[in-house]
A and B are shown apart, each in its own frame.
Chain A
Amino acid sequence: MERRDFLKNIIVGGLALKLSPGLLAQPAWPELAVVEGESPAAITREALKVLGGMSKFVSRGDKVLIKPNIGWDRTPEMAACTNPEVVRALVEMSLEAGAKEVVVMDHTINQPKRCYTRSGIQDAARAAGARVLFTDEQRLKKMSLRGEWLKEWEVFQDFVEADKLINVPVAKVHSLSRVTLGLKNWLGAIGGNRNQLHQKIDQAVVDLGAFFKPTLTVLDAYRVLFRNGPQGGRVSDTRLQKTVVAGVDPVAVDAYGATFFEIKPQELTFLKLAQSRGLGKFELEKVRIEKRAV
């Protein structure tokens, strides 16, 4: 090709694109999907549709790791762990998008087998085709987190090795960080003496969030725990919110999650730290949000 032809092509092509914006340019997908409805699975599916479909995030042949909160030996109606139907829908969508393997795991706080079983997540995820694995001490490796406070910590390698990481927290109150949402969910991906992180919980949560960087965060707020967090114990400690919040920006998802507890995002130290760290934005007025009901 002659240089002149090449330049001509570029100019003509560029003009064509410029004049017809709908031809190639991406439509501006919403940054945050907030979907309300009766079925946890259906609102999860709808949220992904709002964001542009799971195939936008998961490619053919990907190894996907889904990280719900399976921390406690509690049944779904206690809202201490992620809703199993939300997890099931995400597993199904990942496989539909062509994922080679979907693994679901969490480093639990109560006895692992009891948490996996009684949360209902093990059965739901397996039925959808995922491998549900207990975390394995042999897979812990001390890694450099390059955090402000956490310089290094033991991390389960499964979370680092996965091609795509989907964070699926459940919305709960917490007496130190006030709420526990997506960023704090990464405490379940690490080993060591996790409880020491509470001495500077906001900074710890941001350091972990900066390290793990999920492909997607899907906040389960179908049933939120508003009292006696983070594990509740009575159904009366929970409230039906029937909502799922999904987005790529983990800070925006958490900021929206805070509103379920009548907390303004700017009141939360960890969100401010996260934003100044460049992890996302908590100022919801600057976020493209699409709300739907199904």
Chain B
Amino acid sequence: MSNNRNKKNKTKLQQNRENMDVEKLRKARKNASGKEEKAKIKAAQKEAKAKVKEREKKHKAQLKEKKLALREQKAQAKENALTQLKLVEEKKIEAAASEESKAGDYTVADTEIEKASDESVICCYCFENEAEPGRDYCKDCGNALLRTKIPVSGWVAALIAIIFSFCGLVTMGLLSAASLQVFKGDYFMSKDNFTMAFNAYDEVSSVLADVNSGFSENSVFNVLLQTGSNFGMKAMNCAAKIYGPLDAGESFDANIFSSAGAIEFKEHSRRYKKFKSYTDDFESTVKALDPVLAKLNEKAGDSLLSLDDLDAAIPEFETYIGKKDVNEVYLYYTICVLAEEWCAADNDQLYKYMQLVDKAAEKSDDDYSWLYYKNLISMLMSQKKYDEATKYIMDLMNKDRSEDYSRMQLCRILVSRGKIDEAQAIVDEFLNNNFEDDHFTEDGYALQIYLERVKGNYENAIHLATDAGNYFTNYPEVRRQLALVYLYQGYYEEAFATAFSASNDASYLSSYYAITDFDGVLIDTTLYIATHYAQDLIDEDSENYEDLQYAITTFNTEEYVPEYAKQITEGKFDLKKVLSEGMCDFI
């Protein structure tokens, strides 16, 4: 034992001496004057530090050995104790009749166990002294370890973490409302409810503006309260689902990606390039067809191109199929557009060209329903091919839960067949999936007002239209439906005022927002008919007089007036019958 103590003291002395040397050298180096001297002292310091390191290494190795030895000791002591217990148990069983020997053996066993456990409790830190009873360390080590200092780096880390978490808390607070709005949009996107998603994304900027209004213009928080390019991409994709990628790109690209950072993002983003590829494909197709288009333009001159000339040019168009930069679907779609705009073809004539587009789209792996389905449905409806139209309507309905055009068409088909309950079920499903806070969307109001009108519940229809007016500023279809109610009831002046507002709403939406998500032909038809019936009732004193004059002038000077509208005003069809039978609309 004394040898060990001497050894320990020597080691401690040696350690202290070495530490003192290092400290001395450090002070000497501080006070040294010449470079040579400093270099010498530095070398000596290095040596001293190396010695200290070596000693620590040795000490660690010794500690490890001691730990292992201690572990073995503990294991051995445990084994001994267990063996003793077993012996005691056996003796208990053997000496069951004798009470004296039992007590003696227990005492022996207990003291043996105590001895064994006593022998195994050595301080877990120094591995030299015995640990205090019930503790892991000896008294000296225990007291020393209670004073173990928290390193300065720990306090610095804690301070940095607290500052950072405070910044995080403030950021979280500022962005939470807008993030929730984005989350709402993402949720609707995941449910294929694209109009609701777009409305949610549209709200984000106003939410941020609301939060921002609490800070000054030059506040540092303004930097945080902005959306980035990835959000813009989300909104664009949503718009593409509703309006198609071509129209979405045209209408929203410049608005969403207007900042310098956003423009740079567009150059590097793969997702944006993929989105843009639709527009690029279309433009490259039209560009590739330039020679054929130029020929046809020359043939037409200042007048309309004949459909025969267009039909004769189709084989030439088809020679471009399979060439680089030419998309077959876009090629046939271009032919369709030419037929409509250069040849003024009607729906029946356009149908055969639309069938070519449909055939080409079926062959392709990509989805082109956004390009031509609505037009095709409109053509099929005008030809009364309702069953064929239903196929495309159902496809559109399944792709987008907020798609109202297809649902309106399907409701019209069902109403014409007397299946009003089925139509109401479709509208109920739409209303359940599409609502804003405590009211319907504009499309929801339009659908429900249509059915109320069909059922003859005109008061309900008027009430719903008035309710819609509380939430929306521009709602052409709702106003048009209301105009139809007034027309049926014989309130022609009110019908005209409402139809005129509907037409204004449509012009405003298409001019300022490039939104053409309404039936322009139906709006014109409704306005024409309302103008016809109201013109004798509105005098100069009426507030609607100027509007009436404007409408009359417009219809007199424009070449195009809906044919069906003319037929109704000429008395070929009875107005009330048209509005109460069949589809109950000007279709």
B is a partner of A: no
